[in-house]
């Protein structure tokens, strides 16, 4: 049963490996950051599982990460005493990419290095970055709770396949050995490795240890901590540099790029907690995957409790990354407690306020950044008013739309902008929903608005119909679809216009009757409309009817 098995990487893994090695070489130091980040995650996972089964610690609850090197063998070794992996987990986690949409994502790669390097960032570089500097990687691991003979050894040269064998491995957790490529000897150096760790991994809240060295600069059997090993978020804001904030983000968010913005707060009073929350600069490619884990980690007094705590952020803020650290929850908090807990609810409400405040600040003071934010996450924010009733007005303020005011599909108009431009006598915020920006822009419903110079918001995202069914008013102004109900625009404009309209209605009476009898039951009503200026007629829906294109969509789907 100790035989060695050879397995093929999933096609996408092969592509990822190839790309990684070729496009990230100028950034090669990051391999260590990624492997340390994984080691740290593995320790977090052990802590979480040990909440319900403390025996998993196997009398060794001092979690730590070690980095070592062997000049003669030309290897670097990263070891953790975290959760480890069993055989299936190794195959799942190291041989495959399980995220849905992966294939589609890879089909977008252009072969152009700089472009693809960005995409790779979006994907997350992770474990495979080891192959930037190594031509062979050996990972040996034993899962917490299993016996020594259940160790697993994985090895690959990063081309197309890997081997797997069952081995005796008494130590719990994972050891990764990098056999360095020719020419990468700079990393076989104590000072160099410490420098990389301090640059990229100083913020890891666990101790990262390296061997102490004697007077002759030879390694000894004693270990010393080389990072700060303190929780970054627990330090005062003014003692944390921008670079430290960014490095920490890359670890918690598994992101390769810098964050767009962050908010760091210590809340005191009857409830105490610290939150450090980040807005990424790029949406992950699977942002709309319902199973995508939430990105906020829960800590209790610096001790990791759980990842992706759904209870800590509403769905429409699922792109937020970071940590919330409570001083009030018990350390032995259970999953059940997390499900319904007043303290959690309060932390969530407070954190949502902080995020909305951060976004408001960006919109006001850093419009370029806000534009980036809106392009990446706007469609998710539009889920907000339907999900978060309490913050509806504040979310509405953050919304951006295309409108008849500018000749562009870009969503840049805020509701405040709109209200400031309203015509004298105008009481409503007019909008139209359609399948595409162009369909909205060319709708005949807009003719009269154009003629009168009244601005109309042009909505064409899939989520817009849902948004508008939850947004009724903003700053006391009701929303009105230009395709629904009776539009009374008579107050906007002159009295002469009104008289003119009445005259036309009188003259057309006979025609209306004839059309009505010709169409019979096909229509509910035929009316003289003042909403058109160029087209002869259009179909109008009752206030409560579904928008026309939604009906068409449902019909096409066979309803
Ligand atoms: P990510 O960390 O974003 O999930 P990686 O490519 O870095 O992606 O790692 C892939 C997976 O391999 C991890 O999610 C984890 O399940 C597993 N893994 C990697 N390193 C370790 C480790 N040291 N201990 C346990 N599991 C690990
Ligand atoms: Mg990782």
Sorted by sequence, the CB contacts under 8 Å of residue 541 that are 6+ apart come out as: 483, 484, 485, 547, 548
pTM of the full structure: 0.81
Ligand 1 pocket test: pick from 13, 24, 32, 38 the residue with the most ligand atoms within 8 Å of its Cβ. Answer: 38
Is 475 within 8 Å of 399 (Cβ atoms)? no
Sorted by sequence, the CB contacts under 8 Å of residue 360 that are 6+ apart come out as: 394, 397, 398
How far apart (Å, rounded) are the C-alpha atoms in residues 334 and 410? 46
How far apart (Å, rounded) are the C-alpha atoms in residues 208 and 485? 66
Cα–ligand 1 centroid distance for 93 (angstroms): 6
Angle, CA of 466, 467 and 471, to the nearest 5°: 125
Closest-CA residue, ligand 1 atom 12, reads: 93
How far apart (Å, rounded) are the C-alpha atoms in residues 273 and 264? 11
Closest-CA residue, ligand 1 atom 7, reads: 126
How far apart (Å, rounded) are the C-alpha atoms in residues 350 and 346? 6
Strand partners, 306: 298
Ligand 1 pocket test: pick from 16, 122, 127 the residue with the most ligand atoms within 8 Å of its Cβ. Answer: 127
pLDDT at 545: 63
The sign of the CA dihedral 517, 519, 521, 525 is negative
Is 522 within 8 Å of 408 (Cβ atoms)? no
pLDDT tens series, the chain, 559 aa = 568 999 998 888 888 888 778 778 888 999 999 999 999 999 999 998 998 899 999 999 999 999 999 999 999 999 999 999 999 999 988 877 766 667 777 777 776 766 776 677 666 678 989 999 999 999 999 999 999 999 999 999 998 899 999 999 999 999 999 999 999 999 999 999 999 999 999 999 999 999 999 999 999 999 999 999 989 999 999 999 999 999 999 999 988 889 999 999 999 988 999 999 999 999 887 787 766 666 899 999 988 888 877 789 999 999 999 999 999 998 877 777 777 789 999 999 999 999 999 999 999 999 999 999 999 999 999 999 999 999 999 999 999 999 999 889 999 999 999 999 999 899 999 999 999 999 999 999 999 899 889 999 999 999 999 999 999 999 999 999 998 866 777 677 666 666 777 788 888 888 888 888 888 888 888 887 766 667 777 777 766 565 666 666 666 655 5
The sign of the CA dihedral 275, 280, 283, 286 is negative
Residue 364 tokens, joined: 């006001």
Closest-CA residue, ligand 1 atom 5, reads: 126
Q: Of all atoms in ligand 1, which is nearest to the CA of residue 83?
A: 25
Cα–ligand 2 centroid distance for 124 (angstroms): 8
Angle, CA of 64, 65 and 70, to the nearest 5°: 140
How far apart (Å, rounded) are the C-alpha atoms in residues 379 and 526? 37
How far apart (Å, rounded) are the C-alpha atoms in residues 342 and 349? 11
The sign of the CA dihedral 79, 141, 7, 254 is negative
Q: Of all atoms in ligand 1, which is nearest to the CA of residue 45?
A: 25
Cα–ligand 1 centroid distance for 502 (angstroms): 72
Ligand 1 pocket test: pick from 44, 82, 93, 98 the residue with the most ligand atoms within 8 Å of its Cβ. Answer: 93
The sign of the CA dihedral 360, 365, 371, 376 is negative
> Ligand 1: residues within 6 Å at CB?
34, 38-39, 41-42, 80, 82-85, 93-94, 124, 126-127, 174, 254
Residue 302 tokens, joined: 């610096």
How far apart (Å, rounded) are the C-alpha atoms in residues 290 and 306? 19
Is 3 within 8 Å of 165 (Cβ atoms)? yes
Cα–ligand 2 centroid distance for 222 (angstroms): 28
How far apart (Å, rounded) are the C-alpha atoms in residues 324 and 273? 7
Q: 3-state class of 53 per DSSP?
A: coil
Q: Are strands 295-300 and 321-326 parallel, antiparallel or unpaired?
A: parallel
DSSP 318: T
Closest-CA residue, ligand 1 atom 10, reads: 93
How far apart (Å, rounded) are the C-alpha atoms in residues 53 and 375? 44
Residue from 1, 291, 404 nearest 166 by CA: 1
262 φ, ψ to 5°?
A: -150, 165
**Token pair 């009757």 in the structure block, residue:** 513
Cα–ligand 1 centroid distance for 82 (angstroms): 11
522 φ, ψ to 5°?
A: -65, -25
Is 528 within 8 Å of 505 (Cβ atoms)? yes
pLDDT at 340: 77
How far apart (Å, rounded) are the C-alpha atoms in residues 143 and 158? 24
pLDDT at 13: 83
pLDDT at 233: 97
Closest-CA residue, ligand 1 atom 20, reads: 38
């Amino acid at each position: 049963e100790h035989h060695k098995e050879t397995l093929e990487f999933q096609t996408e893994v092969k592509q990822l490996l190839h790309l990684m090695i070729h496009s990230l070489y100028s950034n090669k130091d990051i391999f260590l950051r990624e492997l340390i980040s994984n080691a740290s995650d593995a320790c977090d996972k052990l802590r979480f599982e040990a909440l319900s089964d403390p025996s998993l610690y196997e009398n060794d609850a001092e979690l730590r990460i070690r980095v070592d090197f062997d000049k003669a063998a030309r290897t670097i070794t990263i070891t953790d005493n975290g959760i480890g992996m069993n055989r299936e987990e190794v195959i799942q986690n190291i041989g495959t990419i399980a995220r849905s949409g992966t294939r589609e994502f890879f089909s977008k790669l252009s072969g152009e290095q700089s472009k693809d390097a960005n995409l790779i960032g979006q994907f997350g570089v992770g474990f495979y970055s080891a192959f930037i500097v190594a031509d062979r990687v050996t990972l040996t691991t034993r899962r917490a709770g299993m016996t020594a003979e259940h160790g697993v050894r994985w090895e690959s040269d990063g081309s197309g396949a890997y081997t797997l064998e069952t081995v005796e491995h008494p130590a719990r957790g994972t050891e990764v050995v990098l056999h360095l490529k020719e020419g990468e000897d700079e990393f076989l150096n104590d000072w160099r490795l410490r420098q990389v760790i301090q640059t990229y991994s100083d913020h890891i809240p666990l101790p990262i240890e390296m061997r102490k060295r004697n007077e002759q600069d030879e390694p000894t059997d004693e270990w010393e901590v080389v990072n700060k090993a303190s929780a970054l978020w627990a330090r005062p804001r003014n003692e944390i540099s921008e670079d430290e904030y960014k490095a920490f983000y890359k670890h918690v968010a598994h992101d390769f790029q810098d964050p767009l913005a962050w908010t760091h707060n210590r809340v005191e009073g009857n409830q105490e907690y610290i939150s450090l929350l980040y807005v990424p600069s790029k949406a992950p490619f699977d942002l709309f995957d319902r199973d995508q884990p939430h990105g906020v980690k829960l800590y209790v007094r610096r001790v990791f409790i759980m990842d992706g705590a759904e209870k800590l952020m509403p769905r429409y803020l699922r792109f937020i990354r970071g940590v919330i650290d409570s001083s009030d929850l018990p350390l032995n908090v259970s999953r059940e407690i997390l499900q319904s807990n007043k303290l959690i609810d309060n932390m969530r409400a407070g954190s949502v306020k902080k995020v909305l405040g951060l976004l408001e600040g960006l919109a006001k003071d850093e419009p370029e950044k806000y534009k980036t934010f809106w392009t990446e996450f706007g469609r998710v924010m539009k889920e907000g008013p339907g999900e978060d009733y309490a913050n509806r007005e504040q979310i509405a303020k953050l919304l951006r739309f295309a409108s008849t005011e500018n000749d562009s599909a870009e969503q840049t108009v805020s509701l405040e902008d709109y209200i400031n431009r309203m015509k004298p006598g105008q009481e409503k915020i007019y909008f139209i929903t359609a399948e595409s920006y162009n369909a909205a822009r060319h709708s005949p419903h807009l003719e009269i608005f154009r003629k009168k110079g009244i601005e109309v918001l042009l909505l064409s995202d899939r989520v817009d119909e849902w948004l508008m069914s939850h947004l009724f008013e903003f700053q006391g102004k009701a929303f009105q679809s230009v395709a629904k109900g009776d539009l009374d625009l008579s107050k906007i404009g002159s009295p002469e216009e009104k008289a003119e309209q009445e005259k036309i209605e009188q003259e057309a009476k006979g025609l209306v009757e004839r059309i009505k009898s010709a169409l019979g039951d096909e229509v509910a009503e035929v009316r003289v409309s003042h909403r058109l200026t160029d087209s002869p007629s259009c179909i109008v829906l009752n206030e409560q009817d579904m928008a026309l294109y939604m009906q068409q969509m449902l019909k096409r789907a066979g309803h």
